[in-house]
Amino acid sequence: MVCQQAAAQVRTGAITQYKAFKPAIILLSNGKTLRQPLANIFLKNSSLLYNSGTQTMEANMANIMSVTFDDRQYIKIDTILAYKVDSVGEDALYKATVIDLVSYKNQLLNNRQITSLDLGDQISYSNVDISTEEDHLFPLIDKFFYRYKGKFVKVHERDIQHILPKEKRRLFKSYISVPGFSWTDEQSLLNLLRGIQ
């Protein structure tokens, strides 16, 4: 019997990765480099935010290759910014943290109690919101990617299996069936990456 410990979902009231906007070096897809004095990562979709005068703007992600802050570098993978967790030889594990909007909306909907319901000619109802302050915090999820053999791939069973040569697929299946393996645990994902090299 395998027991897995359920981890509580991390919640935040913030909508950005950093508490305050800070300097960043932005590498554009045309090869140019920009220095942005006030930038941040938007948790809604892990995109780049920057201040322009008194306004906060969301960057056009089609033009971004990477964003480097004082503590880490974010690389654009698909349409989101992710940072390198660790390398395994030439390959690496990348991570992006985003707000789980589906869970957040469901959480708010589930905290409404219908107090009266009239099913006459027209349906009418009234409800009471029983949400607590904590229910209004944003739930976060981590999205993981591998840089595998020079290409980025989403860390998901189907996506990985699709890129593996046939001789590595059985090995892959054995790694993900090990007790304690988790698609959300960085160490499990690094071990898997090491195993499929």
Is 3 inside a domain boundary? no
Both 28 and 112 in one domain: the answer is no
pLDDT, averaged in runs of 10, over the chain (197 residues): 47 82 95 94 90 89 94 93 92 90 64 55 56 66 92 91 86 87 91 88
- What pLDDT was estimated at residue 171? 86
Could you give the 3-state DSSP secondary structure of residue 104?
A: helix
Give the end of a domain, one of 87, 115, 134. Answer: 134
Both 151 and 120 in one domain: the answer is no
- What pLDDT was estimated at residue 81? 95
Is 4 inside a domain boundary? no
Range of the domain at 40: 14-100+138-195
* Contact present, 49 and 56 (Cβ < 8 Å): yes
Domain count, the chain: 2
- What pLDDT was estimated at residue 114? 53
Both 70 and 95 in one domain: the answer is yes
What span, in angstroms and rounded, lies between the C-alpha atoms of 197 and 85? 17
**Checking phi first, is residue 89 left (phi over 0); if not, alpha (psi -120 to 50) or beta?**
left
With both helix axes pointing from N to C terminus, report the angle between 166-176 and 186-195 in degrees, rounded to the nearest 10.
150
- What pLDDT was estimated at residue 10? 74
Is 8 inside a domain boundary? no
- What pLDDT was estimated at residue 1? 33
Both 117 and 51 in one domain: the answer is no
